[in-house]
Amino acid sequence: MISRLSGTLVERRPPNLVIDVHGVGYELEAPLSVFEGLPETGAPCTLLVHQVIREDAHLLFGFSRSSDRALFRTMLKISGVGPRLALGILSSVSAEEFALMVESGDSQALTRLPGIGKKTAERLILEMKSRIGDLGISNGATASGASGSARDPAAEARAGLMALGYSPAEALKMIKAQADEGASAEAMIRQALKNRMNR
């Protein structure tokens, strides 16, 4: 089973990319978030991999963080959720945002993700809620091979708002409503509280 690939990025056509490893080109599908962190073609590239083996194909899915791969693998265990749907979810929201939606039971937010209807959203909440804690993604943990020391101001701001008594869903909405993504966690919290008071 292929778990990790390290080689040269030779092609990128979202959601597909090709990594050349000692003359062998491996084609992978990856969430759109992975492409944001990819180097230019011709540069070294390392991705974590999940392999799906079928009678008619061997499929490879690439991830830059172990938390994303762990969530992807867990979603595949849910009835009605296949690789394409799981990939669509991770292309739309981060693992941490998805965890907040599940933990807070926000089925309305889940139905706004591609390919998820009301029944699928309810199934995801029901079956994923007990598994989210085991994945280590609620606190924004990053994966091996990624810059684990990097801070996520948005995640820190959400945690700060939750500590102030807001629900995970409320905290997520308050942070996502802000336009300045480059702000510090403290600035995000202040602005979120200010926006809340002015409503």
Q: Which two tokens stand for residue 112?
A: 């706004």
pTM: 0.70
In terms of domains, do 9 and 52 share one? yes
User: Closest by alpha carbon to 66, among 127, 4, 17?
Assistant: 4
In terms of domains, do 192 and 165 share one? yes
82 is in which domain, residue-wise? Answer: 66-135
| Counts of helices then strands in the chain (DSSP H, E) | 9, 5
- The answer to whether position 30 is within a domain reads yes
- The answer to whether position 142 is within a domain reads no
What CATH number corresponds to the domain at position 189? 1.10.8.10
Residue 40's φ and ψ, nearest 5 degrees, are: -70, 155
In terms of domains, do 126 and 169 share one? no
Which domain-ending residue is among 12, 28, 63? 63
- The answer to whether position 50 is within a domain reads yes
- The answer to whether position 109 is within a domain reads yes
Q: What is the pLDDT along the chain (199 residues), one digit of tens a residue?
A: 899 999 999 999 999 999 999 999 999 999 988 998 899 999 999 999 999 998 999 999 999 999 899 999 999 999 889 999 999 999 888 888 898 889 889 898 899 888 899 999 999 999 998 888 788 775 443 333 333 334 567 777 777 777 777 777 777 888 887 766 677 777 888 788 878 777 6
| 152, burial (CB in 10 Å: exposed 0-12, middle 13-18, buried 19+) | middle
Q: Are 10 and 18 in contact (CB under 8 A)?
A: yes
Inter-helix orientation angle 118-135/66-75, to 10°: 130
- The answer to whether position 146 is within a domain reads no
What CATH number corresponds to the domain at position 32? 2.40.50.140
In terms of domains, do 96 and 74 share one? yes
In terms of domains, do 70 and 57 share one? no
Task: Provide the number of structural domains found in the chain.
Answer: 3
